[in-house]
Amino acid sequence: MQMDGYMKDWKLSHMEPSEIFDSLGMDLLSLLIKLDEKVGKLSREMRQPASRFMRWLNGIKGMACAIIFHGGELASEELGPLKAILVAEKPADAWVLRIAQAKSDMPLLDTEVEGIDGLQALAYKPYGREQGRVLRSLLASELLVLWAGERGRLVAAIEGAKAIFEKRPVADLAELLARDVKRMAITDVSDFDEIDFAGGRKRCIKKLDERDFERIAIRAMEMRRVPEGFRTHLLKEARKAAGK
């Protein structure tokens, strides 16, 4: 898969993370190469055609004004579905995009759709909702953003979410890590006594014990670029968020 073949209709930018996170130390081209490599690895792992990601990008052009990828996910060796936040400029476009994503079968990606107004409403909501906490943590991270529309409002939304995140980062990050552990455990077959392959998807049957949770949480913190000095306290909060 060649980058210039499927990125030619998108503008690109690299957004630096909150100071709470370790930087990848990569420029825009390096992040784009990591995206290309990650899509290739996921395609092989999931036995999908290499052109599927390109077709998906072409299909959402005109509905999404931006696609947001987490830099740490792109650079990591984790091979679960890649998180992508799809942003629509207008509420009506967001509804169309949600319907299109619900109908599509795109196993390479874990997509979330928000209009810019909805994204601001979730990301700015003070500390109460799990989805808002997860979204703030993602938006405060190092990002690769694909643009097909006006940037000003979305950049302002991301910067606003980052400012709120920095006031209480542990509470927000704990929700993201709890979700990460649950998602990553599904692909970690060695942890479980029984796996259901119905429909071609692996499903976790056995509940994680404390050692399993900690081991996978450390991998998640590495992927999210959480500094080592921050991890012990964050691990305790992630356990609470996961209900352990």
pLDDT score for 132: 86
Question: Which residue matches tokens 């509905």?
Answer: 63
Range of 176's domain?
170-241
Say whether both 11 and 69 belong to one domain: yes
How many domains, in total, are found in the chain? Answer: 2
The secondary structure element, H or E, covering residue 12 is strand 11-15
Q: Which residues of the chain have pLDDT under 50?
A: 1, 189-205
Q: What is the pLDDT of residues 34-72, one digit of tens each?
A: 999 999 999 999 999 988 898 898 888 888 999 999 999
Measured distance CA(138)–CA(224) in Å, rounded: 9
Burial string for 217-229 (b: 16+ CB within 10 Å, else e) reads: bbbbbbbbbbeee
Is the domain of 29 the same as that of 134?
yes
| Nearest C-alpha neighbor of 210 from the set 242, 234, 180, 186 | 242
DSSP per residue over 218-238, as a string? HHHHHHTT--GGGHHHHHHHH
Is there a single domain that holds both residue 148 and residue 224?
no
Residue with tokens 């949480």: 217
Query: For position 206, what pLDDT does the model report?
Result: 52
Domain boundary among 130, 147, 167: 167
CA distance 208 to 223: 20
Give the helix/strand (H/E) hosting 202: none
Same-domain status, 115 and 211: no
Q: Please indicate, yes or no, whether residues 49 and 121 belong to a single structural domain of this protein.
A: yes
Q: Which two tokens stand for residue 180?
A: 């990460």
Are residues 114 and 77 part of one domain? yes
The domain boundary residue, chosen from 167, 184, 208: 167
